[in-house]
């Protein structure tokens, strides 16, 4: 599976937040003067979720990622 183009990062973050998923980009963690990867990277917030909520969230996130490929 190829990565997701970095240009789609903002749209994916917005869609995840609209769906109630705590998804955060890794792009702000890169050195501003250094090279940026061509693919998007994400951090998923899952602290405090039980297993069922985590499964539901991952399923919704999978749908969001499939829609933004």
Domain ranges of the chain: 6-67
Question: pLDDT, tens digit, for every residue of 4-50?
Answer: 999 999 999 999 999 999 999 998 898 888 888 889 999 998 888 99
Per-residue pLDDT, 1:
45
Bridge partners (DSSP) of residue 39 are: 5
Per-residue pLDDT, 31:
84
> Is the torsion defined by CA of 10, 8, 54, 18 positive or negative?
positive
In angstroms, rounded to a whole number, what is the distance separating the alpha carbons of residues 33 and 52?
41
């Amino acid at each position: 599976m190829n990565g997701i183009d970095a240009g789609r990062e903002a749209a994916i973050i917005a869609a995840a937040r609209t769906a109630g998923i705590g998804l955060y980009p890794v792009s702000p963690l890169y050195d501003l003067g250094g090279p940026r990867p061509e693919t998007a990277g994400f951090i998923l917030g899952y602290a405090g979720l039980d297993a069922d909520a985590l499964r539901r969230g991952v399923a919704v996130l999978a749908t969001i990622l499939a829609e933004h490929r």
